[in-house]
Amino acid sequence: MSYRAPVSELRFVLDHVVGFDRVTATDTFAEATPETVDAILTEAGRMCADVLAPLNRQGDLHPARLENGVVRTSPGFADGFRAIAEGGWLGMSADPEHGGMGLPIALTMAVNEMMGSACLSLQLNPLMTQGQIEALEAHASDEIRDLYIPKLISGEWCGTMNLTEPQAGSDVGALRTKAVPNGDGTYAVTGQKIYISWGDNDFSENVCHLVLARLPDAVEGTKGISLFMVPKRIPDADGTLGVANSLKVVSLEHKLGLHGSPTAVMQYDGATGWLVGAPHKGMAAMFTMMNNARLGVGVQGLSIAEAAMQHAVGYALERRQGKTASGDGTILDHADVRRMILGMKAETFAARAIAMDCAVSLDMAKATGDAGWRARGAFLTPIAKTYGTETGMKVAAEGIQVHGGMGVIEETGAAQYVRDVRVTAIYEGTNGIQAMDLVGRKLMDGGAAAFALLDEVEAFEDDDLRAAASHLRVLTDWMVAQDMQDRFAGAVSYLAAFARVLGVWHHLKAAAADEARAPLARFAAGRLLPEALAEIAKARTGAGELYAVPTEVVAA
């Protein structure tokens, strides 16, 4: 089944569920008129369905490969990337000063969702570039911004971020890559990085690596990390490319999924780099890019959920097997298949609404400078990332079940969604780390951001929703009073409960705006609210029971 871009669904969520009109009412985003939004979503949807979607299977069957030090991308990916770049989609939210459109991040995420559904392996490339643009806008010198951002926006150059090292994993503070001053304002960067998404390609003139490294006088841990721009080819001041830098792709990872996306082991051997931001403040600069990417990865999970759902529905509308509720209908008339499809639709909608709500909060924070909007966006980011990717994995797996035995036959395409989406729960901070961030850093305000969000939920007139939100409020109070070990033990459940309560809230708002959506909203509430209550109970068990089981039993 071919992919259909859900343009009308995206527009409905923006207009009737997450209050996008508040964003466009600001001076910052006044140019995002309804006509502009319609034109952008329609044109992007057409590109995704017609140009990118046909590449998805090509990337899976013909992975990116490394030949004599040169990365060869999957068939058609160069043309697909060119369509993305020429459409202006790389710089949607970038500053117009450097050639961007200056549009809301919510609109960028809507377009990214469609690109991810069409071909996630390729969409990962622009996601990295978009994040790098944002990091450079916030932290780089004028010289670096003026040189790099226009090239990144045009697609002439691509961006990456280099954090992980073999010995460090998620513990970024344990990195060993060094940066030594050259005496001319540049630095010699030496070290190895792993898991570098789109570490190289054969369709852009240059690949620009943001690399975390330590200066000679740096302290241990994350406080001693600096950020450097290290390009594949060293440009002149006017952007003319000169000699190759002292870096190379050592190998490409052989992955479970996303075969069309080259994930590189990168080696830097005294490569020339330029400091981005202040010395020893690299993590703050990199987190600008990572937070953009965390929401973006949540949207990637949502992308796969949408694509897998469409694939499953298409199959269920064609496959005839057994006696159905209507006598001789397709398997969509079987109660259990209908249960699966409705569950897929309910959670995909909830994940989309949470992600768009997060994006609207970030847009409002940028447009108004209001600390409340900033805190709201920060609180929603780990929820959007985790619930989006968990939903992607769940819906993709359910899609295989709808297909039955045909689901595990590669030719049907259902299995690819499962393989492609799995890593989204791991990269840009594992979902466990997201949950720990939620109950740790995001509750350092004593729960103020959480309570403010729950105030909004409880203002909606629905007794079941209010009851669940009230239980979540009590749990938040409990979390704030606990030490970190007990918080961490219940972190995943706390996040899961919050996501489900928010998801039902958004469903009910949708039903209030369109009565035809009421049956799905009732279905969602009947499934997600009981799950939320169960997660709330689990979140309060603390760490004691985890460590009461002897290590020898755990490891047996």
> In a 10 Å sphere around its CB, with 0-12 CB exposed, 13-18 middle and 19+ buried, how is residue 439 labelled?
buried
Is 431 in contact with 386 (CB distance < 8 Å)?
yes
Phi, psi of 276 (to 5 degrees): -115, 120
Residue whose C-alpha is closest to residue 363's, from 107, 119, 81, 13: 107
Q: Which of 487, 418, 409, 407 is nearest to 447 (CA)?
A: 487
Alpha helices in 140-162 (DSSP H): 142-154
Q: Residue type at 455?
A: D
**CA-atom Rg of the chain in angstroms:** 23
Determine how many CB atoms are found less than 10 A away from the CB of residue 258.
27
Of the residues 113, 134, 428, 458, only one is catalytic, namely: 428
The token pair at 484 is 């970190």
Q: How far is the CA of 292 from the CAs of 101, 361, 408, 428, 502, in angstroms? A: 17, 13, 34, 10, 21
Alpha-carbon torsion (373, 123, 430, 167), positive or negative? negative
* Alpha-helical runs (H) found in 422-490: 431-439, 448-458, 463-481, 484-489
Q: Is 461 a catalytic residue?
A: no
Tokens representing 120 are 């996630």
Cα–Cα distance, 505 to 351 (Å, whole number): 12
Alpha-carbon distance of 334 to 233, in angstroms, equals 58
- 261: phi then psi, degrees, rounded to nearest 5: -100, 110
| Separation CA 145–CA 532 (nearest Å) | 45
Collapsing DSSP to helix, strand or coil, 72 comes out as: strand
CA–CA gap between residue 508 and residue 470 (Å, rounded)? 17
d(CA 278, CA 218): 12
Asked if 160 and 249 count as a contact pair (C-beta separation under 8 A), the reply is no
Contacts 24+ apart (CB under 8 A), 286-291: 286/135, 286/161, 286/163, 286/210, 286/212, 286/227, 288/134, 288/135, 288/138, 288/139, 289/131, 289/132, 289/134, 289/135, 289/161, 289/210, 290/131, 290/161, 290/428, 290/429, 291/378, 291/381
Catalytic residue ranges:
428
